[in-house]
Amino acid sequence: MAKQRFRDVKQGRVKSIDIAKKQKDNANRPATLRERFKAFITDSFMILMPLMYIVFYLIFDGREGFAQHKLLGWLYILIPYMLISAIFIAKSGQTPGMRAYGIKTIMCKTEDRPSLGVSFLRQLLAIWDFFLFTWILQFFWKNHRTLHEILSGTCLIRERANDNK
């Protein structure tokens, strides 16, 4: 291999070995807890809040109607939320919140996008995981995977190297 000139590396004609190695090292790094939390909050406002508004005010005609039929109301909210999130994950591997923070959902063994069935299973288990507080387990594991990710065989990785950490 010929000697790399600084000018060529700086102008992008030749990639530096160090830059290529850093990009390879950052390729499949797990998402941090902070990135996961920010993506969850963003998804809550972008997907969940419009669904809650529709159910509260268009279907049940106000909060009082929702209060009388809470179980049915939460089913009307959570089932479309699971479907919408599963479609986003199956189509691109990301929900809007994940896209905003550079996180991608992949199958751990094959590193492909999950199918629609796996995405729906993941979202169903995520709701179950949220209500049973088993999401707390992610604080004790090195790779920060939650129970629903382990059971569905998915991983959350960084799509690009974030310099803000």
Residue carrying structure tokens 């999401």: 135
Question: What's the pLDDT score for residue 78?
Answer: 93
155, β-bridge pairs? 106
- 29-109-37 Cα angle (round to 5): 40
Question: What's the pLDDT score for residue 163?
Answer: 46
- Residue 139 within a domain: yes
- Residue 21 within a domain: no
Instruction: State how many domains the chain has.
Output: 1
**Domain hosting residue 127, numbered range:** 30-158
Whole-number Å distance between alpha carbons of 100 and 57: 29
**H or E element: which one contains 58?**
none
Mean pLDDT score, 16-39: 70
- Residue 101 within a domain: yes
| Cα Rg, the chain, nearest whole Å | 20
Question: What's the pLDDT score for residue 165?
Answer: 47
- Residue 73 within a domain: yes
